[in-house]
A and B are shown apart, each in its own frame.
Chain A
Amino acid sequence: MKQVEETLRQEVAKLLEDGTIDVFVGHEAASLPLKTSPCFVRSPKEVDRLVWNRICTSNLATYLPQLFKRPVGLKGEWTPPKVGVVAKGCDSRSIVGLIKEKQIPRDRLFIIGIGCEGMIDRHSVGRALGVVGLADAKVDDKSVQVIGTDGREKRIDIADVLAASCRECQHREAVLSNLTIGETPSSAPEVSHYANVAEFESKSPQERWEHWVGELSRCIRCYACRQACPNCYCEECFAEETAPKWLGVTTDLSDVFVFHLGRAFHQAGRCVDCGACVAACPQGIDLRLLNQKINKDVEELFEAQVSLSLEEAEALSSFRMEDDQSFMTEP
């Protein structure tokens, strides 16, 4: 890992030096243990800020569209910058999606792909600690050694605190890149896909309703899930539109339902299961159970995969004459 980090820094320094890119988007250490922050490196002198480790959890694709927006109020000529970015499998798929949706230009992007063995979910570590905070942590290949704010130490198997998405991830290498560094990741885990969704589907309607009432009552409408998601780039989200006003702005449960149904639905055929929304939620709501339901349906009904290549059409911007109609009362 250390070595990949070193290679990454060297490559980025080269790219900045020879003018291939103007800015590089990567991860840097944040001040709290097991946390990173996106960083924007503009000069070869700064490349040492870049880190590559098991806590590069956030999806950097989210940070790209803003760089290609013309600065507000700027007069005269403006050329969008040339942007470099480091991408895990999921980041790269989000980038593919954003390129297809014309939010970022392929020809001004330099993607460095790094194979990924899965990222740590900070919430899971927090849960392992219980009610105390995380004072310090060390990560090696197999485990996370944590010290709680109560001074107690604990060794946690890394597999137990991997993000849920990472445990099932089938695309651990960038699907689109200009350069790949590091080793090929070990082969994707043999897991039953959508097991969580299938299990949930087997519950009674009342149980399912009550589950979501419980989960969504926790929601504080902070929109961190939306803001962290690369797909949620709308200038004005339906949740905040006033004409028409789709829903109220409070945490009235009915409105929270409409928000979450709408948000999840807008991910149909677009969600790459990167887990950024889940990691961002300050209330630890399992949004994945909602996202994955749609992903499962998209895969099963339309035999579509999300954002694996630039050529494939997105599931909801295409159709087949013989698409499933079994859901219809009178087809």
Chain B
Amino acid sequence: MLEMTLDKSKVQEFLRLLGENRRLFAPVKDRMGTKFSEVADPSLVCLDGLNTNLSPKEVVFPQWETLYTFKEDHANEVKLAAQETLLFGARPCDARALGLLDQVFTWEGIDDPYYLRRREKTCVVALACNTPGEACFCTSVGGSPVGEIGADVLAFDLGEQLYLRALTERGEALLKEASTLTEKATEEDKQAVQQAAAEAEKQLQAIPIPKDLAALKESFDAEIWEELGLKCLGCGTCAYVCPTCHCFDITDETKKGVGRRVRNWDSCAFSLFTLHGSGHNPRTTQAARYRQRVLHKFLYCPENFGEAFCVGCGRCITNCPAGLDLRAVLERLSSLAKVT
């Protein structure tokens, strides 16, 4: 396992070097805190923020993309090429979310080429969190502020320097590519990292997570959805900011004999999400829609993939215009599960 350190003063050079033959995505300052952006100028990269307001899933799963184009009676495939990409500074929850998305887009042996073309070319350097954000609860859902899942390299901010640990072959190759700028990590560095990791984990709140799937199933008809449904505005915010939400819609757009088939993000909170062509809508109320969001993550995904599809990033909580808090909902569901 390759363990290196990089002097903070050399981060820009490091990114410039690695960005030479890659697209570089990293957090930059934004009016909403920070956001992931394709950066040409590494001096703009800002590693002082917490997790970005929007998740980096856009890098591998863009909000919309053309699947193919068509003209009159024939279709043209789009070229499935993607460029080598470096996703730098994703927080461990976001890296872990990419791992979850991987499961969806390769589910039951069916690969999604549109997703995989980008994902396979993306090297993820995750940045461990020293201080969690106001709504973070990664440890409660099986993650960690210093988690390694989904990342190729895990970085720690040690004040004067970044500690970099290669986790995969791709990560190792990446670090080797920049070896002129880094030093081998010393025992002292490694100890500092261990200490930082312990400190970080301690700061996170523990939220009760309903794990009894049978009890969760029972909650389908529980009263709590009614009130939550009245509060929920039915916007797409929580799904669009979430690093693990992956529902999409496919539509055709046409113009004078030519057209394209596009897929774009969708949200189960929208009333049109389940509207059938016939006009029938099986999810008639916002309560049912909000329930879907929670149960999809905490019941159906565990059934299908063996784990909950929430990495505890807190974005749906900080951004919900109705002040809904998933943590509180989970807490209520857990106590519900206990009585039933």
Q: Are A63 and B32 in contact (CB under 8 A)?
A: no
Shortest Cβ gap from B8 to chain A (Å): 16
Residue from B54, B64, B134, B325 in contact with A251 in the complex, judged by beta carbons closer than 8 Å: B64
Report the separation of the CA atoms of residues A220 and B328 in the bound assembly, to the nearest whole angstrom: 26
**Quick one: given A135-B134, A224-B236, are A284 and B31 in contact (CB under 8 Å)?**
yes
Report the separation of the CA atoms of residues A284 and B321 in the bound assembly, to the nearest whole angstrom: 12
Residues of the A chain whose Cβ atoms lie less than 8 Å from the Cβ of B33? 126, 130-133
**Quick one: given A38-B231, A280-B235, are A31 and B63 in contact (CB under 8 Å)?**
no
Q: Are A133 and B240 in contact (CB under 8 A)?
A: no
Report the separation of the CA atoms of residues A66 and B230 in the bound assembly, to the nearest whole angstrom: 8
Chain B residue with the shortest CB-CB distance to A136? B134
| Interface positions of A from 112 to 141, Cβ below 8 Å from B | 123, 126-127, 130-135
Residue from A32, A38, A126, A226 in contact with B325 in the complex, judged by beta carbons closer than 8 Å: A32
| Interface positions of B from 118 to 156, Cβ below 8 Å from A | 131-135
Residues of the B chain whose Cβ atoms lie less than 8 Å from the Cβ of A321? none
Report the separation of the CA atoms of residues A63 and B241 in the bound assembly, to the nearest whole angstrom: 23
**Quick one: given A123-B32, A248-B262, are A282 and B233 in contact (CB under 8 Å)?**
no
Residues of the A chain whose Cβ atoms lie less than 8 Å from the Cβ of B264? 249-251
Shortest Cβ gap from B218 to chain A (Å): 22
Given contacts A130-B33, A133-B133, A133-B135, list 7 more A-B pairs with CB under 8 A: A32-B317, A37-B231, A40-B230, A131-B49, A248-B251, A250-B253, A250-B262
Residues of the B chain whose Cβ atoms lie less than 8 Å from the Cβ of A72? 284-285
Q: Are A221 and B236 in contact (CB under 8 A)?
A: yes
Which A residues have a C-beta under 8 Å from some C-beta of B? 30-33, 35-40, 58, 62-63, 66-67, 72-73, 123, 126-127, 130-135, 149-151, 220-224, 226-228, 236, 240, 248-252, 276, 279-280, 282-284
**Quick one: given A224-B233, A249-B251, are A132 and B321 in contact (CB under 8 Å)?**
no
B311-340 interface bits toward A, Cβ cutoff 8 Å, 1 = contact, 0 = none: 000000111011111011000000000000
Q: Are A131 and B46 in contact (CB under 8 A)?
A: yes
Residue from A37, A222, A251 in contact with B322 in the complex, judged by beta carbons closer than 8 Å: A37
- Judged by DSSP, the binding face of A is loop
Residues of the B chain whose Cβ atoms lie less than 8 Å from the Cβ of A221? 63, 236
How many residues of chain B get a CB closer than 8 Å to chain A's CBs? 49
Tell me if B188 counts as interface (CB < 8 A to partner A).
no
Shortest Cβ gap from A24 to chain B (Å): 12
Q: Are B321 and A280 in contact (CB under 8 A)?
A: yes
Residues of the A chain whose Cβ atoms lie less than 8 Å from the Cβ of B231? 37-40, 63
Chain A residue with the shortest CB-CB distance to B51? A133
Q: Are A249 and B322 in contact (CB under 8 A)?
A: no
| Interface positions of B from 244 to 283, Cβ below 8 Å from A | 249, 251, 253, 262, 264, 267, 270, 272
**Quick one: given A66-B230, A72-B285, A131-B34, are A220 and B54 in contact (CB under 8 Å)?**
yes
Q: Are B134 and A228 in contact (CB under 8 A)?
A: no
Tell me if B219 counts as interface (CB < 8 A to partner A).
no
Shortest Cβ gap from B136 to chain A (Å): 9
Shortest Cβ gap from A154 to chain B (Å): 15
Report the separation of the CA atoms of residues A58 and B33 in the bound assembly, to the nearest whole angstrom: 22
Shortest Cβ gap from B207 to chain A (Å): 11
Chain A residue with the shortest CB-CB distance to B326? A31
Residues of the A chain whose Cβ atoms lie less than 8 Å from the Cβ of B135? 32, 133
Q: Are B230 and A63 in contact (CB under 8 A)?
A: yes
Q: Are A284 and B253 in contact (CB under 8 A)?
A: no
Tell me if B53 counts as interface (CB < 8 A to partner A).
yes
Q: Are B327 and A31 in contact (CB under 8 A)?
A: yes
Tell me if B234 counts as interface (CB < 8 A to partner A).
yes
Report the separation of the CA atoms of residues A38 and B264 in the bound assembly, to the nearest whole angstrom: 31
**Quick one: given A32-B135, A72-B285, A135-B134, are A220 and B323 in contact (CB under 8 Å)?**
no
Chain B residue with the shortest CB-CB distance to A42? B227
Report the separation of the CA atoms of residues A33 and B321 in the bound assembly, to the nearest whole angstrom: 14
| Interface positions of B from 60 to 106, Cβ below 8 Å from A | 63-64
Residue contacts A-B, CB under 8 angstroms, 5 given: A132-B50, A149-B131, A228-B233, A280-B233, A280-B321
Tell me if B48 counts as interface (CB < 8 A to partner A).
yes
Q: Are A73 and B53 in contact (CB under 8 A)?
A: no
Residues of the B chain whose Cβ atoms lie less than 8 Å from the Cβ of A38? 230-231, 322-323
Q: Are B328 and A279 in contact (CB under 8 A)?
A: no
Report the separation of the CA atoms of residues A240 and B317 in the bound assembly, to the nearest whole angstrom: 26
Report the separation of the CA atoms of residues A73 and B280 in the bound assembly, to the nearest whole angstrom: 12
Q: Are A224 and B235 in contact (CB under 8 A)?
A: yes
Residues of the A chain whose Cβ atoms lie less than 8 Å from the Cβ of B328? 31
Q: Are B50 and A149 in contact (CB under 8 A)?
A: yes
Residues of the B chain whose Cβ atoms lie less than 8 Å from the Cβ of A40? 227, 230-231
Chain A residue with the shortest CB-CB distance to B32? A284
**Quick one: given A38-B231, A240-B272, are A282 and B323 in contact (CB under 8 Å)?**
no
Report the separation of the CA atoms of residues A32 and B264 in the bound assembly, to the nearest whole angstrom: 31
**Quick one: given A30-B323, A249-B251, are A73 and B284 in contact (CB under 8 Å)?**
yes
Shortest Cβ gap from A127 to chain B (Å): 6
